[in-house]
Structure 1
Amino acid sequence: MPLHLGSDGGLPASLPMGTADVAYHLAMAGRPLPAGFLFSFAGGAPTLDSLRARVAERVHRIPALRYRIVRERRMFQRVDRIDLEQHVHEAWLPGDDDGSGAGRLMLSRPMGGDGRPPWDVWLVHGPTGGHTLCYRTDHTLQDGVGAAHTARALLDDDPAGGPPPHRPARPAPGGVAGALGDVAASFRRTVKPAFDLPVSGRTTMCQAVVPVARLRALGRARGATVNDVFLAAYAHAVGTWHRKATGSVHPPLPVAIPMSVRRRGEECAPGNRLVVARLLLPCDAPSPRQALAGVVARTHTLRTSRRREALRLMLTAGPRSAGARIGTRLVNGRSVAGPVSSVDFGSALVHQGSAARRAVVYSGLGGGIRCLTTLTSQHDTACFAVIHDEALATADELPDLWLAALLELERP
């Protein structure tokens, strides 16, 4: 069903939830799970009125913003009248020196109920004249790549570009075997000593910023992608973090890797269009270089076997409820430490003539997950972010340890 930007007035009155949507609904027991993008700016902030005017001009042409969640019927229902005062807000965080305060606000602020579309936009004023534009939605309605396209369509002066579309292909036999192996592994409780702590229910975040060119140079030198470098540095950071706290080696860490299956023409369509693969990060590798070699081998197998396609077919071939139950097992605190996600936003978001310095994709936590790690690339800057349960009291050390792993990879 084509739901293109610009389809004003032609949207269906209702849409059924997809398999991944139902999985998020089940994992959260019907509660909202905030997700979205943060865009940090250095210059003067726009006025709230001008921001509302931009949103009012575009909101009715963006399909994902026109639907509310009807949870008891597991469907999305179109809303024709949108009250912008309920959707566009302003806040002040004068003490937000590290740039992550806006993210903590978005994770803690209550979201609207089922009576209206579950999204909002925030203008958050920071210290020294800086500000952040925040787009927030409910993960049951939209995934990270969809949120990237929607945020750009809603806020950018020239809303073009964004993450590339998925091009479908047939899975290879190895991909089918890998997908079945992921499901089988989800039934086993895995040992994750750094993350196996009681959940507090309170979420916070921390981050670090690096040039994208630095990650690309590291990848070229080692025959790896930017995503490989991100994952390997994170694996070594977790290993170092655990060794500092306990003196022991952390075993390989199972994480969930979200992969978009959002096709061309579905950029701003409601619903989650993603699958999740299981990957073991070599936290026990003695050096970042050895961790990178292990990650490269594993992601190469993931790509060449086309496991993304195998998972997509497996989760959608049968009844929606069955696929959703499998999805909740694949991303659950019993079997994985949490999602580790990479999103390339593309060119910098420009709002009213001002270009964002960096972008961050974020999400709340559910299903017993203690930690979500993201890498968001925008123009020439990448932001490494760790969204974690406060039970992981020293997790704010991970960004610095991640940067230290990059330094080790750069040594001749």
Structure 2
Amino acid sequence: MRPHPGTDGGLPASLPMGTADVAYHLAMGGRPLPTGLVFGFSGRAPALDAVRARVAERAHRIPALRYRIARDRTAFSRVDRIAVEHHVHEAWLPGDDDGSGAGRLMLSRPMGGDDRPPWDVWLVHGPTGGHSLCYRTDHTFQDGVGAAHTARALLDDDPRGGPAPHRRAWPTARGLAGALGDVAASLRPSAKPAFDLPGSGRTGMCQAVVPLARVRAVGRAHGATVNDVFLAALAHATGTWHAKNTGSPHPPLPVAVPMSVRGPGEECAPGNRIVVARVLLPCDAPSPHHALERIKERTTVLRTSRQRDALRLLLTAGPRTVGARVGTRMVHGRTVAGPASSVNFGAALVHQGSTARRAVVYSGLGAGIRCVTTLTSQHDTACLALMYDEALSTADELPDLWLAGLLELERS
């Protein structure tokens, strides 16, 4: 097991990349893949100097912010001095009416070079006094749950809480068989007619915001989790969208569902602590209710068989380059439409007395992926975000179709 630095100041000079880190490095050919969180606020924005002062006060105590990527050695190297002025920036987006402009900016702006840690913070001014705080990193360096913990530790007035840690356990035989089955499925192409288009190289982003209580109420009524409801409504939205554009039903759509294996004490450790499960979204289901029942069957097996731990053991049992090659196949546009990720950030971020209205996990596209979908829960709000290749010219319809699927689930 690779070491993970704590918060007591004893940081090793270098850390080897983990299997998932090497997988992202291989998939992107060494190029950065931006990922992170956007927090939307109402009211007056803080001064840039105040944000920089907060970052300067805390960054040196957060392990994930103290390393850079040494790509030639597939390792992370410690940086002893953080030049805050190179990491904290400001931008103005007066036309960002729907709140997704900050995310699009984070996906399009170049990231810093390899001579400094791969993260930055942006204060983005929007219209009518609104503003966003954005924490951005390179996905080779950090996964979404790690980014959530780091963003809270860096920016929150009371930096406690966040996503729950994963408690490791031994998988069942069914979990091991399921993990092997997912790996085997990644060796062959999958039918994804709505997403099998030549890429444009340009990334769009759109989103929809909904009260979290609505999603939870649907889950309680149907014996499902928030993640189950998210995936079922996404299946319905994709099927409806494809039928509208082609007149044909869409076959079950393979997506990669990231699952955190970040344990206690690893909250702000550098590196990716994730595995992915292959889930077929039942886009051909006759209703969102039927889609939800099929999703529940799959996720129940994932949980009870502890397939998450089976995948962790499987991908780290041998040389990391072998596990990384397997990982790149499991999250590639040949075999899945893209990741579909749900992150519960927990209590709302509070920065200098101002409470964020919503949080959004975002990610760029790579490895032939045409679409990444996230659902980020914060306090009483959930935000669905869709990052898509602009070759999918009508993909911005999907958030509204997802909301329509949620409404049907409420009525069923």
**Counterpart-to-counterpart distance in 2, 1:2 and 1:119:** 19
Alignment of 1:218-297 (within 5 A): 218-297=218-297
Deviation at 1:201, TM superposition (A): 1.1
CA displacement 1:290-316 (0-9 Å, x = unmatched): 011110111111111111011000000
Contact persistence 2:250–2:283 (CA under 8 A): yes
CA displacement 1:300-339 (0-9 Å, x = unmatched): 1111111101100000000010000000000000000000
CA displacement 1:133-188 (0-9 Å, x = unmatched): 00000001100000000000000000000000000000110111111111111011
**What corresponds to 2:149 in structure 1?**
149
One-letter amino acid of the structure 1 residue matched with residue 354 of structure 2: S
**What corresponds to 2:359 in structure 1?**
359
Structure 2 residue matching 1:362: 3-state secondary structure: strand
**What corresponds to 1:24 in structure 2?**
24
Contact persistence 2:112–2:118 (CA under 8 A): yes
What is the TM-score of this pair, normalised by structure 2?
A: 0.99
**Counterpart-to-counterpart distance in 2, 1:155 and 1:43:** 17
**What corresponds to 1:207 in structure 2?**
207
**What corresponds to 2:193 in structure 1?**
193
CA displacement 1:177-230 (0-9 Å, x = unmatched): 111111111011111001000011111110001111101110111111111000
**Counterpart-to-counterpart distance in 2, 1:87 and 1:279:** 37
Structure 2 residue matching 1:372: 3-state secondary structure: strand
Structure 2 residue matching 1:21: 3-state secondary structure: helix
**What corresponds to 1:97 in structure 2?**
97
**What corresponds to 1:320 in structure 2?**
320
**What corresponds to 1:369 in structure 2?**
369
Structure 2 residue matching 1:285: 3-state secondary structure: coil
**Counterpart-to-counterpart distance in 2, 1:362 and 1:167:** 26
Answer yes or no: is 1:38 the counterpart of 2:23.
no
**What corresponds to 2:395 in structure 1?**
395
Alignment of 1:328-367 (within 5 A): 328-367=328-367
**Counterpart-to-counterpart distance in 1, 2:87 and 2:222:** 46
CA displacement 1:25-76 (0-9 Å, x = unmatched): 0000000000000000001000000000000000000000000000011000
Among the aligned pairs, what percent are the same residue?
79
What is the TM-score of this pair, normalised by structure 1?
A: 0.99
**Counterpart-to-counterpart distance in 2, 1:217 and 1:315:** 36
**Counterpart-to-counterpart distance in 2, 1:225 and 1:84:** 40
Structure 2 residue matching 1:117: 3-state secondary structure: coil
**Counterpart-to-counterpart distance in 1, 2:81 and 2:201:** 34
**What corresponds to 1:407 in structure 2?**
407
Structure 1's consecutive aligned runs of 4 or more residues displaced over 4 angstroms after TM superposition are none
Alignment of 1:15-164 (within 5 A): 15-164=15-164
How large is the Cα RMSD of the aligned pairs?
0.6
Deviation at 1:2, TM superposition (A): 4.5
One-letter amino acid of the structure 2 residue matched with residue 361 of structure 1: V
**Counterpart-to-counterpart distance in 1, 2:379 and 2:250:** 35
**What corresponds to 1:4 in structure 2?**
6
Deviation at 1:354, TM superposition (A): 0.2
Structure 2 residue matching 1:141: 3-state secondary structure: coil
**Counterpart-to-counterpart distance in 2, 1:96 and 1:166:** 37
**Counterpart-to-counterpart distance in 2, 1:405 and 1:145:** 27
Contact persistence 2:170–2:309 (CA under 8 A): yes
Aligned length: 410
Structure 1 residue matching 2:6: 3-state secondary structure: coil
One-letter amino acid of the structure 2 residue matched with residue 311 of structure 1: L
Structure 1 residue matching 2:197: 3-state secondary structure: coil
1:2 to 1:22, Cα distance in 2 relative to 1, 3 A = closer
Deviation at 1:4, TM superposition (A): 2.4
**Counterpart-to-counterpart distance in 1, 2:295 and 2:182:** 17
**Counterpart-to-counterpart distance in 1, 2:272 and 2:292:** 30
One-letter amino acid of the structure 2 residue matched with residue 105 of structure 1: L
Answer yes or no: is 1:183 the counterpart of 2:179.
no
**What corresponds to 1:305 in structure 2?**
305
Contact persistence 2:5–2:12 (CA under 8 A): no
Deviation at 1:3, TM superposition (A): 2.1
One-letter amino acid of the structure 2 residue matched with residue 350 of structure 1: V
> Please, which runs of 5 or more residues in structure 2 have no aligned partner?
none
Structure 2 residue matching 1:368: 3-state secondary structure: coil
CA displacement 1:239-291 (0-9 Å, x = unmatched): 00000000000000000010000001000000000101101010000111001
**Counterpart-to-counterpart distance in 2, 1:299 and 1:234:** 15
